[in-house]
Chain A
Amino acid sequence: GESVGLHLPTLSVQEGDNSIINCAYSNSASDYFIWYKQESGKGPQFIIDIRSNMDKRQGQRVTVLLNKTVKHLSLQIAATQPGDSAVYFCAENNQGGKLIFGQGTELSVKP
């Protein structure tokens, strides 16, 4: 069945280091992927997205990589800051309206 999951439930990094958050998906028909950031007590906040016809997309301090061969998605955060501490979710869409979310990875940034 459809599922999107994350490899690691928690990730702790030093301020200034780069962070890499991973995600595996199982539905090869999915054609659009999004990373969301969720801070405590708030709703998911869009970070970056990527379509299935791309393998890399860059934003401000963030990069998303898509490997369709192994159905893997990653979010790279450069120069991680304390304000990046949050739970990060990947989500997929396969030509429908709903988003299918992964389990979430909690990123903790140490000063």
Chain B
Amino acid sequence: EPEVTQTPSHQVTQMGQEVILRCVPISNHLYFYWYRQILGQKVEFLVSFYNNEISEKSEIFDDQFSVERPDGSNFTLKIRSTKLEDSAMYFCASSGQALPYNEQFFGPGTRLTVL
């Protein structure tokens, strides 16, 4: 069964450092998403991406965040200068079609710890 994969599973970084979180969506999917989940809290939308551009972004997704699809398979989330409050689980998701009515498949997540 096809699945979304994410690397690394755990990333530890110093405050102010740049991090890149990587995702490989399901191969025939066209819509890509990043969400985050601070420990013990709900999953929060960050950004959606289609046709090589951002479709929608939340207030969380400020100038420190960027996304890219550098090749035909990877989808990345970059945080330029990490803050302590960026510590969270980051989930990538993909969908074959746009919502509504179409399932988003989630990856296992990357746990980001900012020290």
Asked whether A21 is an interface residue with its Cβ less than 8 Å from the other chain, the reply is no
Interface size on B, residues (CB 8 A): 27
CA of A103 to CA of B43, assembled, Å: 8
Report A's interface with B, CB cutoff 8 A.
Answer: 31-32, 34, 36, 41-46, 49, 51, 89, 91, 93, 95-104
CA of A3 to CA of B107, assembled, Å: 24
CB-defined contacts of A97 to chain B, threshold 8 Å: 31, 33, 48, 50, 55-56, 98-99
- Contacts A43-B108, A45-B106: A96 and B43 contacting too (C-beta < 8 A)? no
CB-defined contacts of B76 to chain A, threshold 8 Å: none
Contact of A99 among B45, B50, B107, B109 (CB under 8 A): B45
B105 CB to nearest A CB, Å: 7
Asked whether B18 is an interface residue with its Cβ less than 8 Å from the other chain, the reply is no
CB-defined contacts of A100 to chain B, threshold 8 Å: 45
CA of A98 to CA of B57, assembled, Å: 9
User: Quick one: closest A residue to B89, CB to CB?
Assistant: A43
B112 CB to nearest A CB, Å: 14
B70-98 vs A, CB cutoff 8 Å, 1 = contact: the mask equals: 00000000000000000000010100001
CB-defined contacts of A41 to chain B, threshold 8 Å: 108-109
